[in-house]
Amino acid sequence: MLQTGLPLQKVKDDLDSVLSAVQSKNKSLEEDLKREQQWYEEQKQLIDTLSRTQEEAKKQVEQVSNKRAFNEQQKKILQLKIYKKKLLTALGKFLEEHFPSPEKGGTNLLRILVDKSVSTPHEPYVPIDDSFWPPYLELLLRHGIAQRHPENPDRIRLEAFHE
C-alpha cells in the first residue's frame, strides 16, 4: 500500500498544483474580464459622447449653412433692388428722352378739343401739330375719346358723346 499511496500522493500533489494554477489563472482571467468590461464601458461612454458631439457639430454646421444661405439670399435681394433702381432710372431717362411729358410741350390737347367742340359745334375738328404729345393723342384715339377726320387724318375732334 505504501507504494500505491505514493503515486496517489504525487497525483494529488500534481492535481493540487494544477488546481492552484487553474485557480490562479481563473483569478487572473476574472481580473482581465473586469478590466475588459470596464474598458468596454469606457469605450461605450466615449462613443456616446463622440456621437453627441458629432450631432451638435452637424446642427451647428446646418445653422451656419442656413445662416450663410440666408445671407446669400439677402445679398441677392439687395443686388436685385439696386438693379431695379438702375433699371427704373434708365427707363425714366428713356421715357423722358423719347416721350417727353405734355406739360413741357405746352398746350393741353383735351382742353383745345373741348373748346373747339363748344365754340364751333358745326366744325369741331382741330389740326394735329407737333405741340401735341403723340402718346397722349394715341391714348385719346384708341379709347374713343377723340376721332380722326374721315377725309383728313391730320385733323381730330372730340367724340360726340351726347349724340
Q: What is the pLDDT of residues 117-157, one digit of tens each?
A: 888 888 999 999 887 878 888 888 888 889 999 999 999 99
Task: Kindly tell me if the per-residue pLDDT of 1 is higher than 90.
Answer: no
User: What pLDDT is attached to residue 104?
Assistant: 53
Q: How many domains does the chain have?
A: 1
Q: Is 34 contained in some domain?
A: no
Give the type of residue at 102: P
User: What pLDDT is attached to residue 102?
Assistant: 58
The tally of CA atoms less than 13 A away on the side-chain side of residue 111 is 5
User: What pLDDT is attached to residue 88?
Assistant: 74
User: What pLDDT is attached to residue 23?
Assistant: 93
Q: Is 150 contained in some domain?
A: yes
Q: Is 65 contained in some domain?
A: no
Q: Is 145 contained in some domain?
A: yes
Question: For residue 90, what pLDDT band results from cuts at 50, 70 and 90?
Answer: confident
Q: Is 74 contained in some domain?
A: no
Cell matching residue 79: 443686388
Question: For residue 3, what pLDDT band results from cuts at 50, 70 and 90?
Answer: low
Q: What is the pLDDT of residues 4-38, one digit of tens each?
A: 667 888 888 989 999 999 999 999 999 999 999 99
Give the C-alpha distances (Å, rounded to integers) separating 78 from 5, 41, 70, 84, 85: 106, 55, 12, 10, 11
Q: Is 28 contained in some domain?
A: no
Q: Is 76 contained in some domain?
A: no
Q: Is 10 contained in some domain?
A: no
Domain hosting 142: range is 102-158
Task: Kindly tell me if the per-residue pLDDT of 45 is higher than 90.
Answer: yes
Q: What is the pLDDT of residues 100-120, one digit of tens each?
A: 665 554 457 878 888 888 888
